[in-house]
Chains A and B, each alone.
Chain A
Amino acid sequence: MFTNLDLALFFIIIFIVLFIGYIAYFWRKPEDIHKHGEWSLGGRRFGTVVVWFLLGGDLYTAYTLIAVPGAAATPGIGGGAFAMFAITYGIMIYPIVYGTMPRLYNVSKKRGYITAADFVKDRFSSRLLALLIALTGVLAELPYIALQITGIKYVLASLSLPITLSLIIAFLLVAGFTFISGLRGPALTAIIKDAIIWTAVIVIIVYIPIRLHGFGNIFSKAAAISPNLLDISPTIDIGYVSLALGSALALFLYPHAVTGTLGSKDVRTIKRNAALLPLYNVLLMFVAIIGIMSVVYFNAYPKVSSEALPLLVLHVFPSAFTAFAFAAIVVGSIVPASIMALASANLLTRNLYLEYINPNASEKAQTNLSRVLVVVVIVAALAFSLVPAASGEIVYLQTIGGAIIMQTLPSVYLALFTRKLNKYPVGIGWLAGLATTMVLLLDLHFKTSLYKGFFFMYVGIIALLINLAIVGLGMLIMAAMHKIKDEGIIENTELINEE
């Protein structure tokens, strides 16, 4: 049971983090906070350390602490060792980042882009394609934000707090500091959030294996429960690899990852982080194994898989530490929600409002609209997460977002390397990819994203293959008609990988 002191500790930690989000407004305060690049990108001034926390912090979230161990504590071939796809995925993220993000950064800084869709608009000379890419980004963020919100339901439940009310208060406070501070809010809170999470996680991943007499004992006991806990079944190897590769391809196409990257002060900051951020994966790996340890400790799979980590912490540690660890989980979910909502708001402001509704909007008006939209997006995600369907194995919420955002890969990643791509093949490919994603997910009732009818392949990868095939075919047809030319207004010399 939790004492009042434990609860006080829980609330104080969360309060401190939220408070820092509000005072971040004053952090490196510019002369004119109303400039959109100031509010939305923190003035593009963040160095290696801040970007490490900002990107690391918004990549490793409730997903890490709840969804991944939850997947590991799920019975069947899609659970147990299968959850390690998150590690395989983590390993494959950063070489892509290193190869692509410096190019996007350079052209964005030079031309003042705030979103990836800004780049698409000039690269293809198509504001419609830009709008479609922007809306895809907003759509993909919703399940990801919902994952953050759903992730802390279990924590609130075990603390006997009123769930819906607590969620609404917590996320409105987050919307509040994002409204006021812009990207400075999640950037500054990410640092303290990570300090809290690292402390909690290190204690957990050191103490629990000791308590369970070491990894040898854990894995031999796990083997007795199910071989799925040690290794994946060959029937699902394509599912495993396609999910890991697809998630890695998708991650830096997410609007929040682009926002974090563009907030960097130079290319060197991005490259250094591409080399350093993988070290977070070590932590992620041990957290994934906590899901296995939970099954071993209770000698049973948890009733709700997402409770694997919170339940184990609750049973093993004194209530004061549990309160601290639970506060870490809550903080790890609310801070990323801030940058995700901010990135979505930027897309709607820049690529919908400014482009189609009021092209003459001042920078101050853009900033204020983005502020309001942050609140709107967070409320939408709250509504989405309160739908009962968004429960169970929540790791799939993130893979749904990934499948959606992945369909923007040709228009963003490929377009960083060639100026020949035309908007029509890319647009039709996008449409086919998104349609495929939706049809297959409907067929799976949104409960998983591995398609059994096709080698258990990840829906996002199936759709991306169709998307790329159409882009390729379209370009071949255009080549046959001698219609291939340099598209858009961005010179190739602007798309360099160097500083």
Chain B
Amino acid sequence: MNAILKFILLALPYFFMVLGVGIYMRVKPEIFGIPFFYWYQLVWIFLAAILTYSVYAIESHERRGSNVH
């Protein structure tokens, strides 16, 4: 179960970056005059880091759990 969840968390960026190129290949809507194409990717820099970190957090949690027993 956790293995599948971890795989999905790690695979999500590829889904949104590769297959999602049709989503972000556009100028509008803009934020503060920054085209969508740019700020979508800025958001994903943080999202991808958060996703990878959550996998790390899940694993650390599992490890702590197994140390107790």
Give the B-binding residues of A (Cβ under 8 A). Answer: 81, 84, 87-88, 90-92, 94-95, 98-99, 214-220, 230-232, 234, 237, 240-241, 244-245, 271-272, 274-276, 278-279, 281-282, 285, 289, 498-499
Contacts and interface: CB of A to CB of B under 8 A. Distances in A.
A326 B53 CA distance: 35
A237 B25 contact: yes
Contact of A241 (B13, B18, B38, B48): B18
A215 B56 contact: no
Contact of A91 (B27, B30, B44, B63): B44
B49 interface: yes
B25 A95 contact: no
Interface in B15-69: 17-18, 21-22, 25-27, 30, 32-35, 37-38, 41-42, 44-45, 48-49, 51-53, 55-56, 59, 63
B55 to A, nearest CB: 6
Contact of A88 (B11, B17, B52): B17
B13 to A, nearest CB: 6
Query: Which 10 A-B residue pairings sit nearest by Cβ, starting from the closest?
Result: A216-B33, A275-B53, A95-B10, A278-B49, A275-B52, A281-B45, A230-B35, A231-B37, A91-B48, A87-B41
Q: Which of A91, A214, A244 has the most CB of B within 10 A?
A: A91
A81 B33 CA distance: 15
B26 to A, nearest CB: 6
Interface of B: 10-11, 13-14, 17-18, 21-22, 25-27, 30, 32-35, 37-38, 41-42, 44-45, 48-49, 51-53, 55-56, 59, 63
A94 B33 contact: no
Contacts of A279: 45, 49
Contacts of A282: 42, 45
What is the interface of chain A mostly: helix, strand, loop, or mixed? Answer: helix
A34 B19 CA distance: 49
Q: Which of A98, A244, A276 has the most CB of B within 10 A?
A: A98
A275 B49 contact: yes
B48 A499 contact: no
Contact of A95 (B14, B18, B30): B14
A91 B10 CA distance: 11
Contacts of B17: 88, 91-92, 241, 244-245
Nearest to A220: B33
A213 to B, nearest CB: 10
A84 B17 CA distance: 12
Q: Which of B13, B18, B42, B52 has the most CB of A within 10 A?
A: B52
B33 A214 contact: yes
Contact of A219 (B10, B33, B41, B48): B33
A285 B45 contact: yes
Contacts, number: 105
Contacts of B10: 95, 98-99
A341 B53 CA distance: 32
Contacts of B18: 92, 241, 244-245
A240 B26 CA distance: 14
Contact of B25 (A215, A218, A234, A285): A234
Contacts of A81: 35, 37-38
Given A91-B48, A241-B21, A245-B18, A84 B41 contact: yes
A347 B53 CA distance: 32
Given A245-B18, A275-B56, A232 B49 contact: no
A271 B49 CA distance: 11
A274 B51 CA distance: 11
B45 A90 contact: yes
A271 B59 contact: yes
B56 to A, nearest CB: 5
A345 to B, nearest CB: 32
Contacts of B13: 91-92, 95
A215 B14 contact: no
Given A232-B37, A276-B53, 8 more contacts: A81-B35, A91-B48, A95-B51, A98-B55, A230-B27, A274-B52, A281-B45, A289-B38
A279 B63 CA distance: 26
Contacts of B37: 81, 84, 230-232
Contacts of A230: 27, 35, 37
